[in-house]
Amino acid sequence: MVLVIFLLITGLFMWVFSDTSVINYNYASMGQLFSIGPLVFLFLIPAVTMQAFADEKQKGTMEFLTTKPLSDLQIVGGKYFACLTLVFFALLPTLVYYFSIYYLGSPIGNLDNGAVIGSYIGLFLLSAVYCAVGVFMSSITDNQIVAFILTAFSCFILYFAFSFVSELPMFFGTLDDVVKSIGLEYHYDNISKGRIDTRDIVYFLSMSFLFIWCTVVSLDKRRW
């Protein structure tokens, strides 16, 4: 369901809507997909992750899981990678866009491959962070709607807010780069250019780990 919506939205933006479609753009580029990808994921990933723990807690199956011989980390890891796998399969069919543009280009193959590979990696790492945030938010509430809203809101803050804040006059010329680099957008833009920097990868991975760790702590609070 989520998969279909994702493909529908990105497909429409890529090919159909005349303002944004590659066909009218006259350059063979996948920039469209990668600029709206983070926005679409902002709503779709919360929809995937919202039920991770909230639903289990509401139905009482959390008690079933936690009394089985599984560690909290195993449970959280299972939930996280299940969500991430689903997102991965949402991204996979967009390779069709790549090949279409690749062969529609003139001459054939006139496409910035480095940027495309970088962008795919960037988008996947970005969704890894979104998923971790989503799983965490789902673990602190037993209401799926609340989990959805919290996730969408936090991901929005993480993605956009820091670059907005960095433009405030008080940071001008002093801390603006630092503030900007806390947000996801800065690192995503870097990778999208095809420049795969270990700093960015480490940033994405540590953000994911941070939220996974928070989830494990939040599960543990039943023992308090």
Which of 66, 100, 143, 181 contacts another protein by CB under 8 A?
66
DSSP 20: T
* Binder among 4, 24, 68, 169 for another protein (CB under 8 A): 68
Q: Are the CB atoms for 119 and 25 separated by under 8 Å?
A: no
- Pick the closer one to another protein by CB: 123 or 219: 219
Which helix (H) or strand (E) covers residue 25, if one does? helix 22-25
Q: What number of other Cβ atoms are within 10 A of residue 70's Cβ?
A: 12
Closest CB to another protein among residues 69, 169: 69
The residue (of 68 and 199) whose beta carbon lies closer to another protein is 68
Nearest residue (CB) to another protein, 199 versus 223: 223
Among 24, 67, 174, 198, binds another protein (CB under 8 A): 67
CA distances from 60 to 66, 67, 102, 221 (A): 11, 12, 50, 16
Residue 30: DSSP 8-state: -
217 binds another protein (CB under 8 A): no
Q: Rounded to the nearest whole angstrom, what is the least distance from the CB of residue 65 to another protein in the complex?
A: 8
Tell me which residues in 5-64 interact with another protein (CB under 8 A). Answer: 59-64
Given the rule CB under 8 A, which of 15-23, 67-75, 102-110, 115-123 is the region that contacts another protein?
67-75
How many residues sit in the footprint of another protein (CB under 8 A)?
Answer: 14
Q: How far is the CB of 213 from another protein (least distance, A)?
A: 20
Per CB under 8 A, the segment of 9-17, 66-74, 136-144, 158-166 that binds another protein is: 66-74
Q: 69-88: which residues touch another protein (CB under 8 A)?
A: 69-71
Contacts 24+ apart (CB under 8 A), 86-95: 86/2, 86/3, 86/48, 87/41, 87/45, 87/48, 87/124, 87/127, 87/131, 88/124, 89/3, 90/2, 90/3, 90/6, 90/7, 90/44, 91/120, 91/123, 91/124, 91/127, 93/7, 94/7, 94/10, 94/33
Binding site for another protein (CB under 8 A): 59-64, 66-71, 222-223
